[in-house]
Structure 1
Amino acid sequence: MILYYRYYSKLRRVKKSMANIADSYDNMVNNPQNDELGLFSNYNDILEETRRRIISHNCKCILDIGCGTGNLCGKLSDRYNVIGMDKNIEMLKKVQEKYGNMKCKVGSFLDEPFKENIADIVVSTYVLHGLNNEDKKIAVKNMIRYLKENGKIIIIDYMFFDSEEKEKYRQHFKELNKQDLWDFIDSKYYTNINEFKEYIAKLNYNIKIEHKVNFTWLVEITR
């Protein structure tokens, strides 16, 4: 059996056409039979809950950074002004195939905002763990710059509550003789929630955090 982490790494390195990466991504998140770590457990349920939160905010404009193939906000693009941003052009082409009303823009968290104060909601799902701690700070500041005065940031990503929890997981995988799985986790930048909360507080913003499943947490940031 091909383990999820190997498949994911292959997806990142694949030398086939980039269009195949977009197709493979959708197949991976919707059919995670090899997701031994449970990284995409309850994927569609979590996205649906996030859409409900977006709708309840009474928003007009949504910016989805790292939108992938539009799985989160594409379904809202018939009702709202939705801008999907991703650095992978082939992902954005797939968005346009699936959701003709969703606007697309090439870019990432770390780019200078193309326009400030434009979005009621800035959202990101399963992306932030690709950034180290310093880049995460830049990303959050840029997300804030996109927000309107009463806007909200929603982040779904892989996190540890604190360094002690991370160590417990490390020991757990070691005891299970699953060092390869732990090495995959440790190669990413799962957010330390306690440290993240302190950083958000320094920016004079409020933060609410909810554990969803396995390593997945949902974060809301507001003024």
Structure 2
Amino acid sequence: MGKEFIEIFEKWADTYDSSLTKDIEYKEVFRGYDQILDSVANKAFGEVVEFGPGTGNLTVKLLELGLSVTGIEPSPAMRKLADEKLKGKAVVKDGDFLSFTVEKKPDVFVSTYAFHHLTDKEKAEAITLYSNLLSSSGKIVFADTMFRSEEEYEKAKAAASQSGFHNLAADLAREYYSTIPKLKGMLEENGFTATFTRLNEFVWIMEGIKLQ
């Protein structure tokens, strides 16, 4: 993920889990958080690579399903918290969406609340990379904030400002949120089917299944 955001992750690490339920500005972004994690985990199988595991909440669910998980996390503070939570049941390595190492061929790449840290150009590069690395019929399953159109994106930024949600408005303006048509095109150009399922006002699951 974008290295320029690591400082934010470092500052947010200790309060991340508590902010999921207590920060009114992000209430809708994280509405149904546990169900969002379940939705991603239940689509995974085999050897799983998780980008941006943060404090390890999705990783725990993947492990509970008996899956083999390798986490890729650029933030030292987040890796430390994830290691403490996972207690050696999964490895969390230094790396990001475009720079990482794995020992086994992945069946599924998963991520939650992180893909927007890449520019659209980087997202396209990442999807091409995953297409080359995945096993036959492998998957990309990412849950993230995304929008149906540029117009919807602009309305979301305006609504956050009008509601006095200045941190949310700043996040929406600073980070690299994509539209579904752009992401769908990236997947299909790299030999994936593409489906998008809305889970709350902001978050969709993007599922790309590699065509044989």
What's the TM-score once normalised by structure 2's chain length?
Answer: 0.83
Q: Whole-Å Cα distance in 2 between the matches of residues 166 and 138 of structure 1?
A: 23
Aligned to 1:32: 22
Aligned to 1:191: 178
- Once the two structures are TM-superposed, the CA of residue 182 in structure 1 deviates from its matched residue by 3.4
| 1:211 paired to 2:198 | yes
Aligned to 2:59: 73
Structure ranking higher on relative contact order (CA contacts 8 Å, 6+ apart): 2
| 1:101 paired to 2:97 | no
Contact 1:122–1:146 (8 Å) recurs in 2 = no
- Once the two structures are TM-superposed, the CA of residue 46 in structure 1 deviates from its matched residue by 0.8
Aligned to 1:23: 14
Q: Secondary structure at 1:123's aligned position in 2?
A: strand
- Once the two structures are TM-superposed, the CA of residue 60 in structure 1 deviates from its matched residue by 2.2
Q: Whole-Å Cα distance in 2 between the matches of residues 117 and 128 of structure 1?
A: 22
Q: Which runs of 5+ in 1 are unaligned?
A: 1-8
Aligned to 1:45: 35
Contact 2:146–2:202 (8 Å) recurs in 1 = yes
Aligned to 2:46: 60
Q: Whole-Å Cα distance in 1 between the matches of residues 79 and 133 of structure 2?
A: 20
Alignment of 1:56-205 (within 5 A): 59-77=45-63, 79-99=66-86, 100-111=88-99, 113-115=100-102, 118-173=105-160, 176=162, 178=164, 180=166, 181-205=168-192
Q: Whole-Å Cα distance in 1 between the matches of residues 15 and 158 of structure 2?
A: 32
Contact 1:210–1:218 (8 Å) recurs in 2 = yes
Q: Alpha carbons of 1:144 and 1:172: their partners in 2 closer, same or farther (altered >3 Å)?
A: same
Q: Which runs of 5+ in 2 are unaligned?
A: none
| 1:12 paired to 2:3 | no
Q: Secondary structure at 2:137's aligned position in 1?
A: strand
Q: Whole-Å Cα distance in 1 between the matches of residues 113 and 149 of structure 2?
A: 19
Q: Alpha carbons of 1:83 and 1:97: their partners in 2 closer, same or farther (altered >3 Å)?
A: same
- Once the two structures are TM-superposed, the CA of residue 37 in structure 1 deviates from its matched residue by 5.9
- Once the two structures are TM-superposed, the CA of residue 125 in structure 1 deviates from its matched residue by 0.6
Contact 1:117–1:145 (8 Å) recurs in 2 = no
Greater than 3 Å deviation, 4+ residue runs: 167-174, 176-184
Q: Alpha carbons of 1:146 and 1:105: their partners in 2 closer, same or farther (altered >3 Å)?
A: farther
Identity %: 28
What's the TM-score once normalised by structure 1's chain length?
Answer: 0.79
Deviations 1:107-164 (A, max 9, x none): 00121x4248711111011001111111111222233333211211100001110122
